[in-house]
């Protein structure tokens, strides 16, 4: 798929930007801070309803403006759709599809598929488990948009259950009324947690071969990568993701949501004393970890700087391969966005990456220095200047 027209209103540094785009490779060049990432961030937002840089919407709205607007004309399998998204920080965002009546923002999930790689993605490998859980959750929503609701429901139940555990702890004693209420929340959390866990396990299982292929394609292939889901169902996982060696996490893969629900109920029962003492939920997908292995060692703590980059990039390229595989209709592959990636790679990895991405229907690349872009990615070059774009060279 590709976007052939992008308009931004009061988005980040742009009062108004109207930008025609083409399929194939487009490179945005310009000095630091001119607004290259802002453009691709808007496109990524349209696909995932979240920014790769900030967790709230407020920074996306221009200084002095109350709301921002992202509009795009998307062509997927030769069919054009106009998407409009209104960002209202502090209030519900709204969307319109083909200029029809406004709908909830989340109703546009799944229409535009992008895979965005940015320097922030180093955190996927080096950062805390939350970054990896987010990666996986974004992937499950990209694959099955209704899982956006699965996430929301789990977060809602978790919040309530934590509030109960916290207030019981503050009260200093755990009464039978607390007990009864907690039993009810256990049921809700087991059901919601099972749904989310099943989706994550399935997505991780599906991406695995693509992740391995992507890492092989990017490097000389001398080291293999693999990813394991470490579930709190199989034993305690600390907040930093560490855990004692336990049963094989793949054992969970064969379970359906009913069986996972039962496993959660049993795990909650076993953890109840600890949870009451700590005043918080210790078992559930909010505490799970995705362990990334490089060769024989965990990538976190062992991988070199360059390997960390390649690993993070392979996670995104793996998503790209998987999404392309998921919808094989011609013209339906995801839009690939590479924000500031070439400057960090050595010449060999640049060439390899360029070779891989030229197969995508639309590739949007940003770079402060045009010379960092390998020759194989020759295409449209757009010079970004503060507040707009200056020229477009073919
Ligand atoms: N809400 C906002 N309102 C107005 N300007 C903003 C807003 N948010 C960010 N900016 C401005 O946008 C600019 C950053 O743009 P962007 O991150 O796209 O730069 P870039 O071209 O990608 O730079 P680099 O090459 O350093 O990555 C900054 O100058 C910042 O002050
Ligand atoms: Mg940038």
Domains in the chain: how many in total?
A: 2
Domain limits for position 46: 2-113+334-389
- Average confidence (pLDDT) over 197-215: 97
Q: Does 289 lie in the same domain as 146?
A: yes
Pick from 177, 275, 291: which is nearest to 229 by CA?
291
Residue 319 within any structural domain of the chain: no
Q: What are phi and psi of 350, to 5 degrees?
A: -60, -50
What average pLDDT does range 43-68 have in this prediction? Answer: 96
Per residue in 231-284, pLDDT (tens digit) is 999 888 888 888 887 777 777 888 999 999 999 999 999 999 999 999 999 999
| Shortest-distance atom of ligand 1 to CA 53 | 17
Mean pLDDT of the chain: 94
* pLDDT reported for residue 346: 84
Q: Running DSSP on this structure, what letter comes out for residue 377?
A: G
- Residue 174 sits in the same domain as residue 284: yes
* Same-domain pairing of 232 and 184: yes
Cβ(30) to ligand 1 under 6 A?
yes
**CATH number for 25:** 3.40.50.300
* Same-domain check for residues 173 and 270: yes
Query: Model confidence over 28-39: pLDDT tens digits?
Result: 999 999 999 999
**Reported confidence tier of residue 85, pLDDT bands at 50, 70, 90:** very high
Q: Compute the average pLDDT of residues 321-344.
A: 94
**Pairing verdict, β 24-29 and 380-385:** parallel
Distance CA 260, CA 254 (A): 10
pLDDT (0 to 100) of residue 245: 78
Give CA–CA dist 241/289, Å, rounded: 5
Nearest to 115 by CA among 336, 371, 347: 336
The atom number, within ligand 1, closest to the CA of 59 reads 1
Give 351's strand partners: none
In ligand 1, the atom with minimum distance to the C-alpha of 35 is 18
The pLDDT of residue 376: 86
Q: Which ligand is nearest to the CA of 369?
A: 1
For the annotated binding site, the residues are 30-37
Confidence of residue 285 (pLDDT cuts 50, 70, 90): very high
Q: How far is the CA of 284 from the centre of ligand 1 (A)?
A: 37
297-298, strands of its sheet edge to edge = 225-230, 289-294, 297-298
H or E segment to which residue 315 belongs: helix 305-326
Query: What is the arithmetic mean of pLDDT over 284-304?
Result: 95
Token pair for 313: 């990039």
Nearest ligand, measured from the Cα of 39: 1
Q: What is the mean pLDDT of residues 345-363?
A: 91
Q: Is residue 13 within 6 Å of ligand 1 at its C-beta?
A: yes
Model confidence band, residue 393 (pLDDT cutoffs 50, 70, 90) = low
Q: Does one domain contain both 246 and 178? A: yes
Q: Are residues 65 and 171 in the same domain?
A: no
Indicate which residue's Cα is closest to atom 18 of ligand 1. Answer: 35
Q: Per mean pLDDT, which range of 130-139, 176-185, 340-349 is the poorest? A: 340-349
Residue 343 and residue 235 in one domain: no
- Residue where a domain stops, chosen among 246, 271, 294: 294
Write the CA distances from 61 to 23, 57, 88, 109, integer angstroms: 28, 7, 8, 21
The dihedrals phi and psi of 122, each to the nearest 5 degrees, come to: -55, -30
- Minimum CA distance residue for ligand 1 atom 28: 33
Q: Is the pLDDT of residue 200 over 90?
A: yes
How many Å apart are CA 377 and CA 204, to the nearest integer? 30
Q: Which stretch of 131-145, 157-171, 203-217, 343-357 has the lowest confidence by average pLDDT?
A: 343-357
- Hey, which residues does 365 pair with through a beta bridge? 27, 338
Residue 68 has pLDDT above 70, yes or no: yes
pLDDT of res. 359 = 87
pLDDT category at 378 given cuts 50, 70, 90 is: confident
- Ligand 1 contact, 62 CB (< 6 A): yes
Percent of the chain with pLDDT over 70: 99
52 C-beta closer than 6 A to ligand 1: no
pLDDT at 394 over 60: no
The residue whose CA is least distant from atom 27 of ligand 1 is 32
Whether residue 36 has its Cβ less than 6 Å from ligand 1: yes
Distance of CA 262 to the CA centre of its chain: 29
Mean pLDDT of 74-96: 96
Measured distance CA(295)–CA(303) in Å, rounded: 10
Q: What is the pLDDT of residue 251?
A: 79
Mean pLDDT of 204-228: 94
Burial class (CB in 10 A: 0-12, 13-18, 19+), 164: middle
Per the CB < 8 A criterion, the answer to whether 261 and 285 are in contact is no
Ligand 1 in contact with 33 (CB < 6 A)?
Answer: yes
What own/partner pairs with CB < 8 Å and gap ≥ 24 does 13-17 have?
Answer: 13/38, 13/62, 13/386, 13/387, 14/38, 14/62, 14/387, 14/388, 15/62, 15/387, 17/388, 17/389
């Amino acid at each position: 798929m590709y976007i052939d027209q992008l308009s931004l209103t009061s988005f980040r540094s742009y009062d108004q930007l109207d930008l025609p785009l083409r399929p194939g490779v487009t490179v945005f060049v310009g000095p630091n801070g001119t607004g290259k990432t802002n453009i691709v961030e808007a496109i990524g937002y349209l696909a995932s309803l979240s920014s790769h840089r900030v967790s709230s919407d407020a920074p996306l709205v221009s200084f002095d403006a109350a709301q921002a607007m992202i509009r795009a004309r998307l062509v997927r399998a030769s069919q054009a759709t106009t998407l409009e998204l209104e960002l209202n920080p502090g209030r519900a965002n709204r969307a319109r599809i083909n200029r029809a009546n406004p709908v909830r923002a989340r109703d546009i999930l799944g229409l535009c598929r992008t895979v965005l790689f940015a320097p922030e993605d180093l955190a996927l490998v080096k950062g805390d488990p939350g970054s990896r859980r987010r990666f996986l959750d974004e992937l499950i929503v990209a694959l099955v948009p209704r899982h956006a609701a699965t996430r929301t429901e789990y977060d809602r139940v978790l919040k309530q259950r934590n509030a109960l555990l916290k207030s019981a702890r503050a009260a200093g004693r755990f009464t039978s009324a607390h007990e009864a209420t907690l039993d009810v929340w256990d049921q809700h959390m087991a059901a919601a947690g099972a749904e989310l866990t099943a989706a994550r396990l399935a997505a991780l299982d599906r991406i695995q071969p693509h992740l391995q292929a992507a890492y092989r394609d990017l490097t000389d292939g001398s080291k293999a990568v693999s990813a394991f889901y470490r579930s709190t169902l199989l034993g305690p996982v600390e907040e930093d993701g560490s855990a004692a060696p336990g049963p094989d996490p793949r054992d969970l893969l064969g379970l359906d949501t009913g069986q996972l629900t039962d496993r959660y109920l049993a795990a909650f029962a076993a953890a109840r004393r600890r949870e009451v003492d700590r005043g918080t939920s210790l078992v559930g997908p909010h505490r799970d970890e995705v362990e990334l292995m490089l060769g024989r060692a965990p990538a976190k703590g062992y991988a070199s700087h360059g390997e960390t980059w390649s690993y993070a990039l392979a996670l995104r390229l793996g998503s790209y391969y998987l999404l392309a595989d998921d919808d094989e209709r011609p013209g339906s592959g995801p839009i690939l966005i590479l924000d500031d990636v070439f400057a960090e790679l050595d010449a060999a990895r640049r060439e390899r990456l360029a070779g891989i991405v030229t197969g995508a229907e639309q590739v949007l690349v940003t770079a402060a220095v045009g010379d960092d872009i390998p020759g194989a990615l020759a295409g449209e070059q757009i010079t970004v200047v503060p507040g707009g774009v200056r020229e477009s060279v073919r």
